[in-house]
Amino acid sequence: MSSVTSRLSEDQQRKLLSLFDHVRLHLLYKASVHGYTAADFHARCDKQGPTVTVAYNTSDFVFGAYASKDFTRSGGDVLDDKAFLYSITAQRNKPLKVAGISGRCGFKDGADAAPDFGGLQFLSDDKPEVKSQPNTGFKFEEREMHGGDLKLTELEVYRVESLGDLLAKPWRNIKWTAERREELMKSILNYKPDMSSVQQARVLLVGPVGTGKSSFFNSINSIFRGSMMVQAIAGTMGKSVTTQFRSYSIKSGKGGGVIPVVLCDTMGLEGEADGGLDIEDLVNIYKGHVKDRYQFSTSAPLSPDAPAYQKHSTLSDKIHCAVYFIDTSSISLLSQKMLDKFAAIRKKTNQLGIPQIVLMTKVDEACKLVAEDLKNVYRSVYIHKKAQELSELLGVPLSCVLPVKNYSDEVDLDPDIDVLLLSAVQHMLNFADSFFENQDQEDSGQDLYRCNKNFQPVS
């Protein structure tokens, strides 16, 4: 039997989670799978602790109710001052939240009744419908709550699980000091690949649309330039903003020499087979056959006869480390198609012996505690659980999963952001060294006397 999955979109889940403090949702009941009856509801939702009921109608409203206390079929009214109703639509940036009328019960815990919050009674008469009674326990406008559409296309119930506050000890130790920042910068600037034929490690950035690949380059570029820079186009569009393959060198200071790492940006991944970055294009990039500024095509991969195809590549042209980008808030919402695409990419990457790292981006947007203080990133229970979840989903060791925050709305450099980003770059260089150590000297012999004329190292 296939797994039961949430119908919530990424935006809907983000808005729903904004109603709570530091929680995650666990799907208990889905009416289209388990049945549209009160008995089906109670069989899966009784004695589950705090729950949130999520209803969907044909008018694109997502609405429902939260109960902080158990359903137990007690047959009585339950006083729950934390209970509330809510409504989510694409037209509202924030969800509507309605608190209960003082002194009224939060919900009715009927022995044979479906979720009944007075104002909203779901699965009325064991049908995919809802009864709406404003001012009965909760005051609301029907047009704002559900648009007057009482026919349900789906009903789900989630257990609301608290993720606690902070771990007693960080799950990774990191020094948040100015000295550590300078130490990391010096280490990166002085890096030399283990192959004499290679002067710069080439790192490929891969990930779904909007996960922060281009923003990562802009952030690293800003750190080494000493001020905010926006060289790579970044955005939040549904389709990939990056349409070309770009190999970005980074200068140390204005007019300075380039640092010994090249960040290569790609078109965003999409779940559909015919959308986003083509895996064959990715393999050609890995092997050094794709020239800078190649315009990606969603209709077909780069042909060996095309002008942008570099037939003779050397070790200096190849990718030495692959980095996958995932938005921390969307980890639980990765579609099976996207996971399948990642699995196919990882298989190709492993076959070529290229080491891989996963960056969890936008950690501040995913966890309020991290937004308040970035130093909480390795003490956050939520971030730790998300890192473990991502490790399992992609099949990579937890040691290869790194939380980061790119520069987004900041106008000045921040030492804490720098330390987290520079630590990630240091890991990339360490992994690139692993790639070089696995190379057969005979395979790279043709590259031994080649020199990158454009490379001017930092003095």
pLDDT per residue over 372-388, tens digit each?
Answer: 999 999 999 889 989 99
Please answer whether residues 269 and 326 qualify as being in contact, where contact means their C-beta atoms are separated by less than 8 angstroms: no
Q: Are 108 and 209 found together in one domain?
A: no
Q: Are residues 326 and 433 in the same domain?
A: yes
* 45 vs 147: CA distance, rounded Å: 27
- pLDDT value at residue 93: 87
Question: Among 9-13, 49-53, 163-167, 444-448, which stretch is predicted with the lowest mean pLDDT?
Answer: 444-448
Task: Determine the Cα–Cα distance for residues 30 and 35; give it in Å rounded to an integer.
Answer: 8
**Domain end position, chosen among 162, 191, 219:** 162
Q: Which residue, 131, 162, 193, sits at the end of a domain? A: 162
Per-residue pLDDT at 375: 97
For residues 398-424, average pLDDT:
96
Please say if the pLDDT value at position 344 is more than 50: yes
- CA-to-CA distance for 184 and 173, rounded, in angstroms? 15
Boundary-marking domain end, from 99, 130, 162 = 162
451: pLDDT strictly greater than 70: no
**pLDDT > 90 in the chain, percent:** 64
Q: What is the pLDDT of residue 307?
A: 86
Residue 167 lies in a domain: no
Give yes or no: residues 263 and 157 share one domain. Answer: no
Query: What's the pLDDT score for residue 448?
Result: 37
Residues 240 and 317 in one domain: yes
Contact criterion met (CB below 8 Å) for 372 and 320 = no
Q: Is residue 352 one of the residues assigned to a domain?
A: yes
Q: Residue 1: inside a domain, yes or no?
A: no
229 in a structural domain: yes
Of 37-51, 159-173, 269-283, 431-445, the poorest mean pLDDT is in: 431-445
Q: What is the pLDDT of residues 157-182, one digit of tens each?
A: 999 988 768 898 999 999 999 999 99
Q: Are 155 and 56 in contact (CB under 8 A)?
A: yes
- Number of domain units in the chain: 2
Tens of pLDDT along 285-326?
A: 999 998 888 887 777 788 888 888 888 999 999 999 999 999
**Residue 425: half-sphere exposure toward Cβ, Cα within 13 Å:** 33
Residue 408 domain-assigned?
yes
pLDDT digits over 209-226, tens only?
889 998 999 999 999 999
Q: Which of 51, 41, 54, 49 is nearest to 15 (CA)?
A: 54
> In angstroms, rounded to a whole number, what is the distance separating the alpha carbons of residues 214 and 231?
9
**HSE of 126, CA atoms in CB hemisphere, 13 A:** 8
| Residue of 148 and 307 predicted with greater confidence | 148
Residues 196 and 146 in one domain: no
Instruction: Give the mean pLDDT of the chain.
Output: 88
Q: By three-state DSSP, how is residue 40 classified?
A: helix
With pLDDT > 70 as the criterion, what percentage of the chain qualifies? 91
Domain at 406, CATH number = 3.40.50.300
Tokens of 37: 């009856």
Question: Does 262 map to a domain?
Answer: yes
Measured CA to CA, the distance from residue 143 to residue 92 in angstroms comes to: 13
DSSP conformation class of 300 = S
Do 302 and 418 reside in the same domain of the chain? yes
Q: Do 148 and 197 fall within a single domain?
A: no
Determine the average pLDDT of the residues in 344-367. Answer: 95
**Residues 129 and 201 reside in one and the same domain:** no
Please give the structure tokens belonging to residue 281: 């294009």
Is pTM beyond 0.75 here? Answer: no
Q: Which long-range contacts (CB under 8 A, 24 or more apart) does 421-425 make?
A: 421/216, 421/219, 421/220, 421/223, 422/181, 422/184, 422/185, 422/188, 422/220, 422/223, 423/174, 423/184, 424/357, 424/359, 425/184, 425/188, 425/220, 425/261
Domain span holding position 423: 178-437
Residues 111 and 182 in one domain: no
Residues 242 and 95 occupy one common structural domain: no
**Same domain, yes or no, for 224 and 157?**
no
- pLDDT value at 237 more than 80: no
446 inside domain: no
DSSP per residue over 403-428, as a string?
Answer: E----SS-SS--HHHHHHHHHHHHHH
**Residues 156 and 205 grouped into a single domain:** no
In this predicted structure, the answer to whether residue 241 has a pLDDT above a threshold of 60 is no
pLDDT at 162 (0 to 100): 81
Model confidence at 449: pLDDT above 50: no
> Phi, psi at residue 12, to the nearest 5°?
-65, -40
Residue 415 placed within a domain: yes
97-111, 226-240, 301-315, 352-366: least confidently modelled range:
226-240
